[in-house]
Each structure stands twice: as structure tokens, then as C-alpha cells.
Structure 1
């Protein structure tokens, strides 16, 4: 059973100050040694640490190692603590709890509270942290995984690891951590892109585009933020997004609204737009008027970054007229163009193969 907290603090204060009597020292080590269960002792020491550690500069603690050392020390008895030579003059004296109710500044109070909770640990294990810091080399910085970087030398349709889709404008770059790992799904954009975001309430989707931060509160929107442009624009087609600069929230953008941000003056305004009309670039290369199947297959290959081949050469010269919004998936687009020529397709090992009779075959 643990003694009264005030008694523990008193014993710790006496021990830290070097004024504990033999009886007080025995009592202090006795309640450690005679504890019926390790769990309350661990919980008590950890609790005192957690109350104050956020306000201090102490290093992190391996509680299993420290607890074992404290218990071992309590069994072998206290010895005089001598600081390592390298720290005798440089280290500061550990402050102790005040014996009066004099008001302390925040930092002073934090140090004294920590001293009450861990003084025993510091002294009883012979300078645990000090000697450990001398003997243990600084940790080697962990190598970070290289980010995924997508550069579009033509308009591309991308499917992100979370299932969201992006139409990336020619000349634009998208960058993100593999798997969109982390508490936030965060990506960086230089250029223009149309986003259709898969909802995930537990992980917000954030786009960093130079000086702006756009947080997804809905689904579909367009951002134009090329490096040398004077303005950044955010246009929403569905749902809503929150837009911030480096200092403040600029506003919430709703469907058929566009926010225009002036980079030089750091000011922004919103205006009404026909969002569909402003996204004509998304439809580039997906409106076909009497184009050959081979021509369309080449455009699909570039847009979705997949090889496309024909198992019947006679299909290549078949003419097709078709029009798309530009946001369709690969399967949706293939289904339409194949249906137009009474053909089918398969996808195997990342390659699309189109099957069917030629235009003049019967």
C-alpha cells in the first residue's frame, strides 16, 4: 500500500536535499521494496512524470529500465551519488519542493514538481540519465521514404492510393508520401489538377499549392497554381472546400464558385462561375469526331498510362465518334469506345487488349 502523497514528497525532498535521516531513507526505500504489487509503484511514478513532463526539457524515459534500476537500488541500499566528471561543474543543481506556499513562476514550479517525482530515480540509479547520455551515441536519423512524384507531360488520369482520382494538367506536378500515409492525406501541387476525393472522415484530404492550403470538405474541385502565375484559383464543382493561406482562413468555396488568390498582395475574393465551363481543359483529348480506333487507343494509353493493343489489326482503322467529360475511369472509357465498334476488351498484367472484328469483316 502506498503511503500518503505528501509523505512521499517530503521523503523525496529530504533525500534530494541530502538531509534525509537514516530512518527517512530506510522508509523511502522501504515502501519501494515492500510494495505488494509493482503496478501501483509504476503507475505512481509514471503519473508524477506525466503531470509535469510536457513542461520540461527532460528526455524521454524507458520506464521498464528505470523502474528495474530503482527497485534494484532500493534492495542494495542508497549510496553517495557522484556526478560524472564531465557534468560536475556544468550541471545545474536539482531544485526541491518549497517548504512554504510562496508563489513560483511556471518554469520553477515545473522543475520542482518533476524533482519531487523523479529525484529518487535520478539519484538512486547513480545518474541514470547523465551516464546514459554520455555512453549512448545520438540516434541515427531514420531515412524517410522518398515521396511519389507525378509529372504530366500530357493530361493524365491518376488514381491515388486512397481511391481518389486526379486529372493532372499537362506541365503539372503532384507529390505525396507513398500510400498517402499519415493522419492527413496530404499532397503538393504545382500546376493545375481536377480532384474527385474519396470521403474519409478520419483523414482529411489536404492540397498544398504554393502559398495556399486547401482542405477538402466535399468531393470535386479544380486548383490552378502554376509556380510563375500571379494568381491561384480554386473552383468547386461539387461539395465544398476550405482555403487558407499562411496566415488565416480565406473562406469556404461552394459549388459554382471560384476563389481567386493574388499572390503578391495576399488577398482573395470569390466569384460565381459556371464551373463546368472553366474545366474545358479536363476534356482535352477525350472528344473524338470520326477518329480511328487506333488514334483513340493511343490517347487512352497516354491518359491512363497503360499499353493498349489490338488482337485484330483490322480494328485499328475503324472510325469512332464519342465525347467524354474527362473524369471517366479507364473501364468507363473503354466500355464506350468498344461498344461503338461492337468490340470487347480485357486487361491483363496492366495491358489492355481490344478484341473484335474489323470494320469490313462480316
Structure 2
């Protein structure tokens, strides 16, 4: 017990605790701590003084009590961010959510005037006040961001962050995707896993982050074509069959399966207006990739020996 109090009194250890607390609050999105760190450390010191006054006769009996108190205080310091986040439900309720259902494209206007289009089965969330221009998405979204040099606009998709000042770009990050893709239509966009060392991409460039390999890859694309899905179009540009199936599932509300797993890597380019029937789309895709298909109980099965 004495060793614990002596450790907490050490300035270096106190500083480490403070840093750990700050990191915890930052991860939980808490800008202001729910208590004064100095006051809590002072209380621990007072607890230490009281502890030393305990008589030798009572020492063994009260040792467990003081150990529990000290443990609770330390855990409160280290886990305070989580605890505060749990009890501060009102703050959590200030998040705003918008969602596009299967087969929908939903336009959203953010509090700063920036415009977002959500592709089918996609969701965006942001703080109601929007004092900090941060949003989080799952699925696919196209952004037209209002310029504000004093307030960067940040999009969070899993472990990847996209940071801009004023531009138009597309982010795709469905849970089923193997890659997170960011495509720039106008302006410049910074993309990376950390704020520092972000890669910059410009119009008609795309950066793709592989979840499997933890690596980024760059490519030149037709951004206007890729982003035209917001008009209801189905766009596939050098897409793998597997990536295309993710979009088809969201658009038509059907399940797709491959009888031959090797077909998932087939690549093709095609565009549909979004008004064509599922049968028409399947006919075109089967011819492009040299495969056959069948529909059973609401599920589409692709089969074939190899890609064309």
C-alpha cells in the first residue's frame, strides 16, 4: 500500500497518469475532463497521510479497505473518460444520424452548408452543433464541402481519415468491402491513418486502403463518372466482381454468391442508368465476365470457370 502511494507521489508517474487520462478522454470524444486531476491527486495524498496514522493494531484489519479505496481512485483516474462518457448520456444524444436504405440515394445538407449524398445502405453521423466539422460514415458518400480555412472538414471511415478545406470527393467504405476508397473530383484531399503524414490526392485521383495488407495504393480514374451514382446510376470502372456485387446488393436488395470463388477477382467496366431491371444487369455482367447465373429464393448465384 505504501509503495502505491509513493508511486502516485512521484512527479513522473503523476505525469504519465495525466497523459493516459488525456488520451482516454480524446478517444472518447471528451474535450473537458469531468474532474480536476490536481484535486484528485491531492485527495490521494490526503488518503496516504490518513493511512500512515492508522495504528499498528488496526493496520492489518484496515489494509484491505485502504487498498480498495486506492484502487478505485486509480481506476477512476485511468478509466475516467470511459465512465464519464457512460454517465453523460445527454452528450451522446446530440449526435445526428442520417441513413439511406436499400435502393435509395439520400441528399443531406450539413449545418455548415456542405452537401452530402448517401448511397444505398449508407449512414452518416455528426454532432448537432457541428462546431468541429467532423463526420463519420459507413457505406458510400459523395461530399461537396463548403470552404472554411479556419475549420478543416474531416471524414472518419474506420481507421482512415480524410481531411479537406473545401472540395468535392467520394468515400466508399462498406463493411463488406476489402478496401476503403477515396476519390477526388475537385480540389485537394489529405488521406491517411494519422493526421500527420497524410497523402494528398487531386482531381481524378483515387487512393485505396487495403484492410488486409494495411497498405495504400494510388490510381488515376474518371472521378465524374465514378461519382455519378448520386444521380441513381450504377458505375463500375475496372471494378472487381466482388466489389460490384456489394453495390448490386445495396441497390437491388438481393444476395449474391459465387459458386467459383475465383470469379470474385474478375475486373470489368460498365455503367447502368439505375433504372434497368435486375435481369438486364445480370445479362450484361454475365456476358462481360463470361459467367452464368441463376436466381433461387431471392439469391443470385454466379458460376463459371474463369474470367474473360
TM-score scaled to structure 1, two decimals? 0.41
TM-score scaled to structure 2, two decimals? 0.48
Higher share in strand: 2
Query: Which has the greater radius of gyration?
Result: 1
